[in-house]
């Protein structure tokens, strides 16, 4: 087996879970994090990237603005494969695939799907869409998952997978709010079908394939994280519903909400679920009232929502 290591940048829950899965099948794994306390072996980024054949980004999107400017990474542009799991937009609204293409050319791929870290650690199956336009790169990256319980599908719709992952995080917060308000399975089912319609509209506008919303990166991940107490974005939504403001500030879903609304809110209209989520975030203490009014506005001929 090739002794060149896999470098995981970001030693959080998903980074640790992936690293453990790779190590169990005999891969050599190196971790680097900007928090030295999370590294098993203290390393500079310069030392960590030396000799790595694959670098996996498991960091929040907010870190990309500085991370992609690191000289140690730039020097490896033509010598290493890049795999990114981040699911957000950069501060300027740029998608992950666009930022990575500027930094590494075509030698990168995205990974998105139902991969809850706690379940990976418990040895349960997880599933992900590997998105790249480079077939040879896809083959190299698939090989590191061979023999693991992380099941990989492929897509060439890089922009669609990137945006589906962003939107999944945003809408998962709303599903968490619905659960926190105990609105029930019927409302959740109605929200999911409406979410899928809105995601298709946004993917088309963003330059992706609308059909990608039905893949692992879209519906698959939405169902997994939108119903799991082990999903950060879902629990963020529950915290919002319960008025625990200090518990939900930050996170990819909330951070991406404003950026998505600024860019795509107009094409969805004022009755979109994105508009509802933004209204609830702005008035978290009145989450139930805002939601009930939204349902009345969507179904004006109905009555009795306040009794639900």
The pair of structure tokens assigned to 295 is 């349902």
The secondary structure element, H or E, covering residue 121 is helix 117-121
Catalytic residue annotation: 168
Report pLDDT for 74.
86
Report pLDDT for 308.
44
The pair of structure tokens assigned to 212 is 């990608």
- C-alpha neighbours within 13 Å on the C-beta side of residue 160: 24
Residue indicated by tokens 């999944």: 168
Report pLDDT for 236.
92
Report pLDDT for 303.
56
Instruction: Give the three-state DSSP class for 215.
Output: coil
Mind listing the pLDDT tens digit for each residue in 118-136?
Answer: 999 999 999 999 999 999 9
The pair of structure tokens assigned to 92 is 């300027």
Mind listing the pLDDT tens digit for each residue in 207-263?
Answer: 999 999 999 999 999 999 999 989 989 999 999 998 876 555 567 888 899 899 999
Residues carrying CATH 1.10.1040.10, the chain: 159-307
Report pLDDT for 302.
65
The secondary structure element, H or E, covering residue 108 is strand 108-112
Architecture of domain 159-307: Orthogonal Bundle (1.10)
Report pLDDT for 251.
75
Residues carrying CATH 3.40.50.720, the chain: 6-156
Below-70 pLDDT ranges, the chain: 1-2, 245-250, 302-308
Residue indicated by tokens 């939204």: 294
- C-alpha neighbours within 13 Å on the C-beta side of residue 31: 25
The domain 6-156 is classified under which CATH number: 3.40.50.720, 3.30.43.10, 3.40.50.1470, 3.20.20.10? 3.40.50.720
Q: How many DSSP H helices and E strands does the chain contain?
A: 15, 7
The pair of structure tokens assigned to 75 is 């020097």
| Backbone dihedral angles phi then psi of residue 297, each to the nearest 5 degrees | -65, -35
| Backbone dihedral angles phi then psi of residue 69, each to the nearest 5 degrees | -95, -5
């Amino acid at each position: 087996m090739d002794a060149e290591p896999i470098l995981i940048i970001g030693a959080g829950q998903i980074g640790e879970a992936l690293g453990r899965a790779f190590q169990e099948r005999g891969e050599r794994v190196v971790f680097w994090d900007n928090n030295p306390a999370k590294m098993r072996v203290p390393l500079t980024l310069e030392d960590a990237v030396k000799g790595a054949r694959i670098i996996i980004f498991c960091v929040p999107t907010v870190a990309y603005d500085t991370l992609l400017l690191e000289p140690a990474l730039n020097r490896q542009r033509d010598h290493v494969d890049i795999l990114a799991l981040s699911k957000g937009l950069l501060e300027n609204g740029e998608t992950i695939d666009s930022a990575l293409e500027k930094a590494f050319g075509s030698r990168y791929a995205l990974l998105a799907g139902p991969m809850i870290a706690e379940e990976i650690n418990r040895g349960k199956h997880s599933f992900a869409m590997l998105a790249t336009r480079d077939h040879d790169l896809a083959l190299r990256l698939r090989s590191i998952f061979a023999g693991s319980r992380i099941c990989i599908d492929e897509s060439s719709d890089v922009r669609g997978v990137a945006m589906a992952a962003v939107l999944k995080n945003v809408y998962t917060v709303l599903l968490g709010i619905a659960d926190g308000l105990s609105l029930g399975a019927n409302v959740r089912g109605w929200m999911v079908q409406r979410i899928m319609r809105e995601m298709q509209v946004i993917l088309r506008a963003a330059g992706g394939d609308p059909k990608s919303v039905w893949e692992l990166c879209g519906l698959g991940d939405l169902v997994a994280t939108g119903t799991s107490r082990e999903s950060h974005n879902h629990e963020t939504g529950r915290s919002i519903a319960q008025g625990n403001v200090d518990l939900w500030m930050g996170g990819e879903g909330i951070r991406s909400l404003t950026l998505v609304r600024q860019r795509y809110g107009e094409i969805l209209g004022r009755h979109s679920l994105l508009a509802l989520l933004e209204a609830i975030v702005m008035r978290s203490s009145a989450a139930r009232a805002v939601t009930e009014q939204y349902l009345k506005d969507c179904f004006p001929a109905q009555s009795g929502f306040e009794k639900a």
